[in-house]
Structure 1
Amino acid sequence: MEVGGVLNREKQTERLAGMVGRNKRLHPSAWLNLLYVPALVLFAVFILYPFFKGIQVSFTNWDGYSQTFSWIGLDNYRRMINDPNIGTVIENTLIYGVCSTVFQNIIGLAYALLLNQSVKGRGIVRTIVYLPVIVSPLIMGYIWYFFFQLQGGALNDVVQLFGNQPVNFLDDPKWNVWIITFVNTYQYVGIAMVIYMAGLQSISKEYYEAAELDGASGRQRFWHITLPLLMPAITVNIVLNLIGGLKLFDVIMALTKGGPGYASQSISTMMFKVYFASQDAGYAAALGNLMFVLISVFSLVALTYLRRREVA
């Protein structure tokens, strides 16, 4: 029996060695690199090619539809610099990007700090705060349009209850840009909250216990423990919010369509208007390159600055 058991074990060992050998022959490290190929192909087709094609189109007078076009050099970029509306459009874009980022992070962090504690019903509150994220931005814009609209809007109904005349919030340049910023903040604050909650739950409680024994107040614990250890989450949130806000499109189209005139236009909505209304694909491509530069500069500067402040 002992000899038979030894032989059986030897056969099993040989079988396992053979399987390992076959696996090595079937899956060498060089073959594993081929798994990158589908992703690289998709990236090249849907990202790199449109990017370089957009740069090429920006030097032409292509209308976006015809098969013929002419090279016009830097004329589209000169036109963009001299466009009397480009200053307003860039200012609006920066407001949507920077202010939405600030509001989303402040409110998201406040929610995370509150709901990270043992508060009754916190699961329901988390769901309510996160729920707008899963709604289409276009649908979210239309929902808030019915709240702010002049005739029959819920807000104007309240205004009229107090004997005042209805206010055209969406056509007033003093209001519409900030309403769009508010709606964008409201929709995506849930993402910031979730990222901050993940960051808070990764902080060891031992830090807080040691600080409490040393007599540190709640404010001191926040500034010297919570905030420094949350820097990775802050970095992720700020960069994502900046990118999303600077390319904001759907909510603007649903609420104001960029109007009146260029009062609430962003670069993305101006591109849409120039391409489809004016059939000027060359100028639209130049605007797209401007938006790419803005997003790249702001996101890279924010990423570089915030990564240096992260606790090693």
Structure 2
Amino acid sequence: MTLISQQLEEAETARAPRRRSNGIAAKPYPLWFHIPAGVFFLVLFLVPTGASFYFSLTRWTLFDVEFIGFDNFVQFFREPALVQGFVNTFIYAFVTSGAKVVLGLLLAVLLTSQIVGRGFLRSTIFFPVLVSTIGVGVTFKVLLDPFDGLVNQTLALVGIQGPGWLTDPNLALLSVAFVDIWKGVGLATLIYIAGIVAIPQEYFEAARVDGATAWDNFWQIILPLARPATVTVIILSLIGGLRSFDLIWTMTRGGPGFTSDVIASVIYKQYQAGFFGLSTAGNVILFVVVAAIIVPLSFWLNRKGSDA
């Protein structure tokens, strides 16, 4: 016992942070180790962000810059099409992130149970995550074609007239959101699977002794103990939804009209039209919106989890 105690004490001593003679814990790495990361952060994030804030207050081209104050922001919120894109961004982000959280959790519970072909099903669900977003957009644009698309042709076989998935103003944005959910739910499922597998089996064994049902296991064990996975899925999917561009641009280009435009596609259209200052203001607005939602939400979710 003495030898074991001594080994444990030595292990604890090795893991404990080294301290200087004045009692202050020594840092594991010298300060200059952080310089390369700091340089990259400064050059690739802080400088471009500061430049974006400045140019959003100007009317600029490659050869001329004119300071106009907040006129770009005022014009942004005066244009109905730009405001529509702003609203669509929130609708798209909340629909896709909410669906990924719910479906990802349910699929993870299914794929961590004792079912036949569990490994194959996990691979199948995760496969869309690996496919190019542009490729997915082009494929579903063909499948959802109102006249020659496979989806409407299949519905016609059973006597149902398929709608214009990407041409109906009331369906275009939700149709793209459905494709986004199909592509991204695999990542949410994988995160949830990791969270559920990490739960100690002793909890489930104790619940089995107490006669708990499958619903009790889900509600009393899986849901609360998989909370870190839930927080991760919410944050990642919400950021992705607010910044979404490539799938929407590939499938609808913001149409019909402006009904499926989001902030990112509006910004791109302004760049194409040569309104560089206005588009830069849109970038700043997008940055502020994402930060204003994600930072407090992340703080609140993590704080609530630690309090629980």
Q: TM-score, normalised by structure 2?
A: 0.86
Moved more, 210-219 or 69-78: 210-219
Aligned residue for 1:285? 280
Cα shift readout 1:119-149 (whole Å, capped 9, x = no counterpart): 2211111111111111111111111111101
Tell me the equivalent position of 1:170: 166
Give distance in 1, aligned partners of 2:34 and 2:117: 45
Match of 1:268 in 2: 264
Please say if residues 85 and 263 of structure 2, whose CA atoms lie closer than 8 Å, have aligned partners that are also in contact: yes
Deviates more, 1:82-91 or 1:70-79: 82-91
8 Å Cα contact 1:231-1:309 kept in structure 2: no
Matches of 1:30 and 1:123, distance apart in 2: 41
Question: Is 1:89–1:267's contact at 8 Å kept on the other side of the alignment?
Answer: yes
Q: Residue 281 of structure 1: CA displacement?
A: 1.1
Please state if 1:189 is matched with 2:191: no
Divergent runs of 4+, >6 A:
28-31
1:207 aligns with 2:203: yes
- Secondary structure of 1:70's match? strand
User: Which secondary structure does the structure 2 equivalent of 1:238 belong to?
Assistant: helix
1:53 corresponds to: 51
Classify the secondary structure of the residue corresponding to 2:163.
coil
Unaligned runs of 5+ in 2: 1-25
> What corresponds to 1:35 in structure 2?
33
CA distance in structure 1 between the aligned counterparts of 2:96 and 2:159, rounded to whole angstroms? 33
Q: Which position in structure 2 is the counterpart of 1:249?
A: 245
Deviation at 1:154, TM superposition (A): 0.8
Are 1:76 and 1:286, in contact at CA under 8 Å, matched by a contact in 2? yes
Contact 1:149 1:170 survives alignment (8 Å): yes
For 1:268 and 1:110, locate their aligned partners in 2 and report how far apart those are by CA, in whole Å.
31
Residue number in structure 1 paired with 2:122: 126
Return 227-236 or 157-166, whichever deviates more. Answer: 157-166
**Helix, strand or coil at the partner of 2:65:** coil
Matched with 1:114 is 110
Among 294, 305, 308, which residue is 2:303 paired with?
308
Percent of aligned pairs sharing the same letter: 33
- How many aligned positions are there? 282
Query: Which residue is 1:299 aligned to?
Result: 294
SS in 1 for 2:67: coil
More off after superposition, 45-54 vs 232-241? 45-54
* Cα offset, 1:30, TM superposition: 9.1
Task: Select which of 102, 106, 121 maps to 2:98.
Answer: 102
Aligned twin of 2:88: 92
- Counterparts of 2:198 and 2:161, CA distance in 1: 52
Q: What TM-score comes out, normalization by structure 1 length?
A: 0.85
Structure 1: gaps (5+ residues) = 1-27
CA shift, 1:274, in A, is: 0.4
1:39 is matched by which residue type in structure 2?
A
Deviation of 1:304 after TM superposition, in Å, equals 2.3
Q: Could you tell which deviates more after superposition, 194-203 or 41-50?
A: 41-50
1:178 is paired with a residue of what secondary structure?
helix
Question: Aligned equivalents of 1:110 and 1:213: distance in 2?
Answer: 24
Query: 210-219 or 178-187, which moves further after superposition?
Result: 210-219
Listed one character per residue, the Cα deviations across residues 256-283 of structure 1 (whole Å, up to 9, x for unaligned) are 000122110000000000011x111111
What is the RMSD of the two structures over their aligned residues, measured on CA atoms? Answer: 1.9
Q: Does 1:222 align with 2:218?
A: yes
Q: CA deviation at 1:164?
A: 6.0
Provide the rounded CA distance (Å) in 2 between the counterparts of 1:204 and 1:310: 18
Q: Is the 8 A contact 1:228 1:310 kept in 2?
A: no
Counting only pairs closer than 5 Å after superposition, residues 6-25 of structure 1 correspond to structure 2 as none
CA contact (8 A) 2:172 2:256 kept: no
Q: Is the 1:229–1:310 contact (alpha carbons within 8 Å) kept by the matching residues of 2?
A: no
Cα deviation code 1:60-80 (max 9, x no counterpart): 1113xx211210011001111
In the TM superposition, residue 31 of structure 1 has moved relative to its aligned partner by 7.0
